[in-house]
């Protein structure tokens, strides 16, 4: 029913290795190639040339034939960077190499004055993200701020502002998160990034209320975003998850479950949002299981949480909170099952210990 710690670690390495490809897919066999390669939706058409800039609105691309074009991100299927062997070697190992090794390689690249700006942007993004994964929250905050300063209109504007907020919240600094968000948003708006960014900021303001357990305020804020219209599909799913979580905490469990189940089967929701939906469904099963001492309900809860533990781990730059929550909640369910079934208590305790060790290795021990 549950995977061993070794299996979970293997799954994490595999998924994170693949995750790096979603942000920067680099040329392996042709690492010495000087051109970048773009694959376009919907048919995978390949275009070779040079990425001149990777902005919030899209790519500025110059083809080998000399034609310049702007490509919106929702038209990009895959992007392969060429021209830097060192960049290729470091980035390909993110997710499989140890965090310290990856960070060291990225820091070296960061200091390379000859590195192309589009590659520098990727390096800064990965540094901020990996520092957060390591638990260096102050370093992560500084990293996101550096990325925002260097590339105020860059492709990772949403992720950088969100990463900045989430790192502050993980440090228990909700007030500082609000101030940092306002400062970053004001600076970014000078370049007029558009309505998507305004909605991203509104979602983060709701997220800060959620972190402070202001469930009524969070619900109102998320509903306001949902009703605003013009939401990108991923933003709509983020808002819906926030609404569902607030409803759950306010006792509106039927409404919350309906939203959770819709998100869990959505192909528009980011991975961490789908994990959050399964965690929410798991919470509902777990409460019934504990209240009625029902191992069947607890087992259903466990299945929900283990989705987040094993194959819905966050991609680089995504919040890690739902992964932490899945690890903690699955361990707690094993504890509860052990209290009900004395014959299997030792086995359940062992599985709970595996999950807590996994959590500690990845994110540190829970705050007491």
Considering the domain boundaries, does residue 224 fall inside one? no
pLDDT of residue 95: 80
Give dist(CA 315, CA 1) in Å, integer: 25
Contacts 24+ apart (CB under 8 A), 297-300: 298/333, 298/336, 298/337, 298/340, 299/1, 299/337
Give dist(CA 226, CA 220) in Å, integer: 10
pLDDT-based confidence at 5, cuts 50/70/90?
A: very low
What is the pTM (predicted TM-score) of this model? Answer: 0.86
Read off the pLDDT of residues 27-63 as tens digits, 9 standing for 90 and up.
334 434 568 999 999 999 999 999 999 999 999 999 9
pLDDT of residue 329: 98
- % of the chain residues with pLDDT over 70: 90
pLDDT of residue 255: 98
Q: Considering all CA atoms of the chain, what is the largest pairwise distance in Å, rounded to the nearest integer?
A: 72
Structural domain tally of the chain? 1
User: What is the average per-residue pLDDT within 159-181?
Assistant: 95
Read off the pLDDT of residues 93-132 as tens digits, 9 standing for 90 and up.
888 888 899 999 999 999 999 999 999 999 999 999 999 9
Q: How many helices (H) and strands (E) does the chain have?
A: 15, 6
User: What is the average per-residue pLDDT within 140-151?
Assistant: 96
pLDDT-based confidence at 263, cuts 50/70/90?
A: very high
Residue 6 has pLDDT above 80, yes or no: no
**Domain limits for position 286:** 270-368
pLDDT of residue 80: 86
Considering the domain boundaries, does residue 349 fall inside one? yes
In SS3 terms, 125-159 reads as: HHHHHHHHHHCCHHHHHHHHHHHHHHCCCECCHHH
Considering the domain boundaries, does residue 198 fall inside one? no
Read off the pLDDT of residues 288-313 as tens digits, 9 standing for 90 and up.
999 999 999 999 999 999 999 999 99
Give dist(CA 170, CA 132) in Å, integer: 9
Assign 89 to helix, strand or coil: helix
pLDDT of residue 31: 38
Considering the domain boundaries, does residue 299 fall inside one? yes
Considering the domain boundaries, does residue 169 fall inside one? no
Go through the chain and tell me how many residues it has: 368
Contact yes or no for 330/283 (Cβ under 8 A): no
Determine the distance from the C-alpha atom of residue 211 to the mean position of all C-alpha atoms in its chain, rounded to a whole number: 17
DSSP 29: T
Considering the domain boundaries, does residue 84 fall inside one? no
Q: Which two tokens stand for residue 331?
A: 């361990």
pLDDT of residue 25: 47
pLDDT-based confidence at 138, cuts 50/70/90?
A: very high
How does strand 76-81 pair with strand 68-72? Answer: unpaired
Q: Where are the alpha helices (DSSP H) in 212-320?
A: 215-228, 233-249, 253-264, 271-292, 295-310
User: What is the average per-residue pLDDT within 281-293?
Assistant: 98
Give dist(CA 77, CA 89) in Å, integer: 22
Side-by-side strand order, sheet with 58-63? 25-26, 76-81, 36-40, 45-54, 58-63, 68-72
Angle ∠(344,346,347) on CA atoms, nearest 5: 65
Considering the domain boundaries, does residue 337 fall inside one? yes
- % of the chain residues with pLDDT over 90: 80
- Helix 295-310 vs helix 271-292: crossing angle, to nearest 10: 160
pLDDT-based confidence at 24, cuts 50/70/90?
A: very low
Residue 187 has pLDDT above 80, yes or no: yes
User: What is the average per-residue pLDDT within 76-99?
Assistant: 89
pLDDT-based confidence at 368, cuts 50/70/90?
A: low
Considering the domain boundaries, does residue 354 fall inside one? yes
């Amino acid at each position: 029913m549950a995977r061993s710690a070794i299996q979970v670690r293997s799954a994490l390495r595999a998924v994170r290795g693949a995750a790096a490809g979603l942000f920067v897919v680099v040329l392996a066999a042709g690492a010495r190639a000087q051109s970048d390669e773009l694959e376009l939706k919907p048919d995978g058409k390949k275009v070779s040339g040079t990425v001149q800039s990777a902005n919030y609105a899209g790519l500025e691309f110059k083809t080998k034939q000399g034609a310049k074009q702007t490509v919106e991100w929702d038209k990009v299927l895959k992007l392969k960077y060429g021209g830097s062997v060192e960049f290729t070697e470091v980035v390909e190992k993110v997710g499989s190499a140890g965090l310290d090794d990856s960070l060291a390689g990225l820091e070296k690249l960061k200091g390379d004055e000859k590195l192309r700006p589009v590659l520098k942007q990727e390096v800064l993004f990965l540094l901020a993200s990996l520092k957060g994964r390591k638990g260096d929250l102050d370093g992560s905050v500084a990293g996101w701020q550096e990325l925002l300063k260097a590339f105020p209109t860059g492709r990772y504007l949403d992720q950088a502002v969100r990463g900045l907020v989430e790192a502050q919240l993980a440090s228990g600094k909700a007030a500082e998160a609000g101030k940092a968000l306002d400062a970053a948003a004001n600076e970014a708006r000078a370049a007029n990034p558009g309505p998507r960014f305004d909605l991203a900021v509104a979602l983060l303001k709701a997220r800060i209320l959620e972190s402070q357990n202001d469930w009524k305020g969070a619900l109102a804020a998320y509903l306001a975003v949902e009703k605003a219209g013009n939401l990108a599909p991923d933003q709509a799913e983020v808002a819906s998850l926030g609404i569902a979580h607030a409803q759950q905490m306010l006792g509106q469990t039927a409404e919350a479950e309906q939203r959770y189940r819709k998100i869990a089967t959505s192909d528009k929701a980011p991975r961490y949002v789908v994990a959050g939906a399964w965690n929410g469904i798991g919470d509902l099963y777990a409460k019934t299981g504990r209240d009625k001492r029902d191992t069947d309900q607890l087992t259903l809860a466990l299945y929900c949480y283990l989705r987040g533990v094993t194959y819905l781990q966050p991609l680089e730059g995504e919040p890690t909170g739902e992964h932490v929550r899945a690890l903690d909640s699955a361990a707690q369910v094993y504890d509860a099952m052990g209290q009900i079934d004395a014959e299997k208590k030792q086995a359940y305790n062992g599985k709970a210990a595996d999950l807590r060790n996994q959590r500690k290795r990845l994110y540190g021990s829970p705050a007491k």
